[in-house]
Amino acid sequence: MPKASIVVPAFNAAETLPETLRSLLAQTFPDFEIVVVDDGSTDRTVAVVRSFADRRIRVVQQPNRGLPGARNSGIDAARGEFIGFCDADDLWRPTKLAAHVAHLEANPQVGLSYSGSDLIDMESRPLKVAMRPRLRNVTAAHVFLRNPVGNGSAPVFRRAALDAIRWRPAQETVRDWWFDETFRQSEDIECWLRFALTTDWEIEGVPGQLTRYRIAPGGLSASLHKQLAAWDRVVEKLQPLASDFFARHAPVARAYQLRYLARRAFSMGNGPEAVRLVRASLASSRRPLVAEPVKTLTTIGASLALNMFGKAAGSALLARLKSAHRT
Amino acid sequence: MLRIAHLVDDTNPGGVTRYLDFLASDPAMAALARQEIVVVPRNRPASVRVAADVIVSHLAISWRGLPGLMALRARHAGTPLIHVEHSYSAGFVAANVTARRRFFTLLRTAYALFDRVVAVSHAQGRWLLARDVVRPEALTVIQPQVDLSRFRAIPRPSGPIRCFGAIGRLDGQKGFELLVQAFRALEDPELMLKVFGDGPERTRLEALAAGDPRIGFEGFAPDPSQAYAACDAVVMPSRWEPYGLVAQEALAAGRPVLVSGVDGLSDHVASGAIPMAGTGVAALTVAMQEMCGKMPAELLPAHQPARPGLADQWGTLLGGVLQDTLSDKVAQAA
């Protein structure tokens, strides 16, 4: 039995998967398996994995179920005491697994160990942006407001902790769920937040930017609305579990979420949408302005500049914007 | 005759009080020792004079109460002290505690003052060990019991399940607001939901139920057997439940029990309660829909689970703790 399992959900990922797998096989911690879940790919994903011919890599194949469904099948197949995730276009720094295993072994009450991330572009070039989250004394409120776990390639769970949130929906016949497969977006935050609200396991980070998280350019403004709708559905789903918690924190959390989407709209070059989202953010709560004035004000300023004076003025502020932390 | 003093600081109606009433009135327990219930002021359990061979705490542990527990230990240095953990569980910590490390330090410190710690469910016992707050050799699991004969005597429902019952204090712990919302999503106009109990959440629950005439608030039932008699099945969507005595009572009354499965409720699944799949309103609606229209007998275990006698379990615990004390004294004398 390997000590740790790394679950790699892969859908038509033949392009990026080799680099991901190389980064995982280069881990300094030796005792692990990689479970690649081929989520019904129609490209050479499976052939790419097989070409590694490495006994540490296993492939699980399934008809397409989506990212949460692929992660769930990976968890189901994983044999390790610790289970990490790395999406098929992201990369792990060589010391990542070692850091999390040491952290989880030294802190038996910690169920979810995560790290910060550096962002990279499609050519794996570093962007001058990093996610440097809070690492200690993380509560459900922190998870909801600022999502310190960050992205789906950051956490390593203790198996026993992950199993505290497993369930078998009535329509499911094959295996249990850990991630909610009815979500196509926001499935990460739904999982982390449900974990924080319904289990007594601690969530804690380790220092360092140990994940390299890939940012795909462009995208459509319509997807921002879908993203917001998915986020709202997370709140709607979990709200009955802790109504006082959501009554207190939801407006602020939504303001942060809208500010994040405004920054996405800005980077798509959509000024009117960015301004609309910034306005909605401020209307939901002024707290981001007080708690993170620089980042909030640059978001407002850049959105307004882009909207009024077009791309050039917006880009002048972009440099400023990029030097701020991005979440 | 051996004398046992049970210290309590909360005499509100509920599972703990019913359990203590039973401990004090059960003939088998009386044959074991003289059982005395001693009500002590909150946080000052040592301020009451107690003459007993063994002292059992049913108190709620808190930082504020810790000095009082230390005083209790000091005042009864030679007397075996047992703590029964009625308050805390994994679900409690998940729902209420943000400074978790500090909280586990509190439990570890408080439990160290006792010779034995009694978990009220196997699930709670596993959790106490997993969180490393009690030494394995100091931990005993004894599930609470009450006199079930009056529940067994209740006539069984004659028809299919139409009326769901919710029984307990109307506070955040019980998760009844999930239940009201989940029930509202069931369309059958013939269904009913009866909520027995009172508490701080009552107004909010009534607001959630407003406009649905199928939902009734029956108030606190001093005799819980009346509550079981009035429904066909019982729902316990609790957020935390160190044991959950209602499940045991409802099964004895021949009422199928749907539970959230947290904490001690998983013990009841082993004896026939039905766990809901997942958490939240939608999952609860699905689980209740599954039960509607079925005959209660179909959803009950074929046999009532055989429980080890309460007095036997307490007898073993007391025997062990007294022997330890005795060997300590012998060792000191030698």
Residue pLDDT tens, chain B, 334 long: 899 999 999 888 888 899 999 999 999 999 999 999 999 999 999 999 999 999 999 999 999 999 999 999 999 999 999 999 999 999 999 999 999 999 999 999 999 999 999 999 999 999 999 999 999 999 999 999 999 999 999 999 989 999 999 999 999 999 999 999 999 999 999 999 999 999 999 999 999 999 999 999 999 998 899 999 999 999 999 999 999 999 999 999 999 999 998 999 999 999 899 999 888 899 999 999 999 989 999 999 888 767 789 999 999 999 999 888 777 777 777 6
pLDDT at B323: 86
Q: Do A168 and B277 touch (CB under 8 A)?
A: yes
Answer yes or no: is pLDDT of A325 > 60.
no
pLDDT category of residue A223 using cuts at 50, 70 and 90: confident
CB atoms B95 and A242 under 8 Å:
yes
CB pairs under 8 A between A and B: 61
Contact predicate A265/A273, CB 8 Å: yes
ipTM of predicted complex? 0.85
- Alpha-carbon distance of A165 to B280, in angstroms, equals 12
Q: Pick the residue from chain B with its C-alpha nearest to A235.
A: B280
A214-220: Cβ within 8 A, 24+ apart: A214/A16, A214/A89, A214/A90, A214/A91, A214/A119, A214/A120, A214/A121, A214/A122, A214/A124, A215/A119, A215/A120, A215/A121, A215/A127, A216/A122, A217/A121, A217/A122, A218/A268, A219/A264, A219/A268, A220/A268
Whether residues A109 and B282 touch (CB distance < 8 A) is answered with no
**Counted domains in chain A:** 2
Look-up of token digits 């579990």:
A241
Q: Structural domain of residue A238, as residue ranges? A: 221-323
CATH 3.40.50.2000 fits B153-297, yes or no: yes
User: Is A240 in contact with B281 (Cβ distance < 8 A)?
Assistant: yes
Among partner residues B104, B178, B281, which is closest to A109 by beta-carbon distance?
A: B104
- Are A150 and A133 within 8 A, CB to CB? yes
A167, A195, A214 — which closes off a domain? A214
- Measure Cα distances from A180 to A80, B92, B261 in Å: 22, 24, 19
Q: Do B100 and A202 touch (CB under 8 A)?
A: yes
Question: pLDDT tens across A116-175, in order?
Answer: 999 999 999 998 888 999 999 999 999 999 999 999 999 999 999 999 999 999 889 899
For residue B280, the model assigns a pLDDT of 86
Q: What is the CATH number of the domain that holds A98?
A: 3.90.550.10
Q: Nearest CB to A240: which of B98, B131, B177?
A: B177
Tokens 């479970």 sit on residue: A35
Structure tokens at B46: 């040592």
What is the pLDDT, as a whole number, of residue A312? Answer: 65
A202 touches chain B (CB under 8 A): yes
- Which pLDDT score, from 0 to 100, does residue A326 have? 44
Token representation of residue A121: 């572009």
Contact at 8 Å (CB) between A80 and A105? no
Domain ranges of chain B: 3-145+308-333, 153-297
Q: Is residue A197 less than 8 Å (CB to CB) from chain B?
A: yes
CB B23 within 8 A of CB B55: no
Share of chain A above pLDDT 70, in %: 94
Confidence of residue A263 (pLDDT cuts 50, 70, 90): confident
Cα B137 from chain centroid?
23
Using alpha carbons only, what angle is made at residue B111 by residues B110 and B112, rounded to the nearest 5 degrees?
90
Q: Phi/psi at B193 (nearest 5 deg)? A: -130, 120
Q: Are residues A103 and A240 in the same domain?
A: no
Contacts of B240 in chain A (CB under 8 A): none
Tell me how far CA of residue B72 lies from CA of B3, B65, B77, B104, B324, in angstroms.
17, 11, 8, 21, 19
Inspect the interface and report whether the beta carbons of B280 and A244 lie closer than 8 Å: no
Q: Does residue A327 surpass a pLDDT of 50? A: no
Q: According to DSSP H, which parts of chain A are helical?
A: 17-25, 45-52, 67-77, 96-106, 140-146, 159-162, 187-198, 221-238, 243-267, 271-284, 287-291, 293-309, 311-323
Q: Which helix (H) or strand (E) holds B227?
A: helix B224-229
CATH architecture of B3-145+308-333: 3-Layer(aba) Sandwich (3.40)
- Of the candidates B127, B181, B277, the beta carbon closest to that of A170 is on B277
The helix (H) or strand (E) run that includes residue A130 is strand A126-131
Same domain, A206 and A243: no
pLDDT at B252: 94
Provide the 8-state DSSP code for A241.
Answer: G
- Rounded Cα distance between A126 and A91, Å, is 12
Do both A188 and A238 map to the same domain? no
